[in-house]
Amino acid sequence: MDDTGGGSFVAVRRVSQGLDRSNTCQSTSAEVVAGSAAWLGRGLSCVCAQSREDDSRQSFDLTPAQEDCLLKLQHRLDIAYDSSLPEHQESLRALWKAAFPEEELHGLITEQWKEMGWQGKDPSTDFRGGGFISLENLLYFARNFPESFQDLLRKQEGDRSMWEYPFAVAGVNITFMLIQMLDLEAVKPRNLVGATFLKFLSENESAFDLLYCIAFKLMDHQWLAMRASYMDFNAVMKSTRHQLERELLEENVTRLEDLPSYALLTR
């Protein structure tokens, strides 16, 4: 991803491409910095990562099971959203039905998508950074934690800002943030956070999707705690990432459901 894109972040006023990888599996220790303007515009950028210089000196070996599961996940990361594919179209329609079950969708390109927090009438333009997996993540969230999904979509909890983050675009950012945090582009994990996640992944093939749900709910929790408005989005994402990293390394966490922030989710 680069910073040359021209998309703009949609602040919501409250009224009532595949990753480059060479068969790799690697996670770096990183500091979060502001990134791609193509995602959220020049004022509010996607949360990306810069590696520290000493990352190359660390590595964690993988078991055969971990390597196999990671390769499967990396295959998912490589799939770009393709609006010409029927299965991608159906997934997008399924997301709409899960979000607004009582409202008929009038087309895959329609102004209705802005209600969900996409930047324009064609959601496919927002999937360029996160790929098809970012749609899969949203759909997994909607199907497995529908109450939390609806709470975040409709901003039903807490004392909200007059100008809120756009739900769907924030979701794509969370997918990308997790890819960066776990450094899923690389050959083998180079920090403890990435290595720890791979243990969870080898025991639960949906670990990335579940961590996504936890991260999204935690992000909203941090948003409310920080009394944030749309210009604070990057700061909230940085705080969310740091909190996730701390929780993943807690000694008593043996599965993702043990993370303290998992308790924020409701079905």
At 49 the pLDDT is 39
pLDDT in tens, 19-33: 444 443 333 333 333
pTM: 0.81
**Residue 52's CB: how many other CB atoms inside 10 A?**
15
At 48 the pLDDT is 39
At 15 the pLDDT is 33
At 14 the pLDDT is 36
- Those residues of the chain that have pLDDT short of 70 are 1-57
At 35 the pLDDT is 31
Please name the residues in contact with 82: beta carbons below 8 A apart, sequence gap of 6 or more: 88, 132
pLDDT in tens, 160-214: 878 899 999 999 999 999 999 998 888 788 888 999 999 999 999 999 999 999 9
At 47 the pLDDT is 42
The rounded distance, in Å, linking the Cα atoms of 255 and 93 is 32
- In single-letter form, the type of residue at position 11 comes to A
At 130 the pLDDT is 84
The rounded distance, in Å, linking the Cα atoms of 208 and 182 is 10
At 162 the pLDDT is 80
Of 142, 146, 115, 119, nearest to 130 by C-alpha is: 119
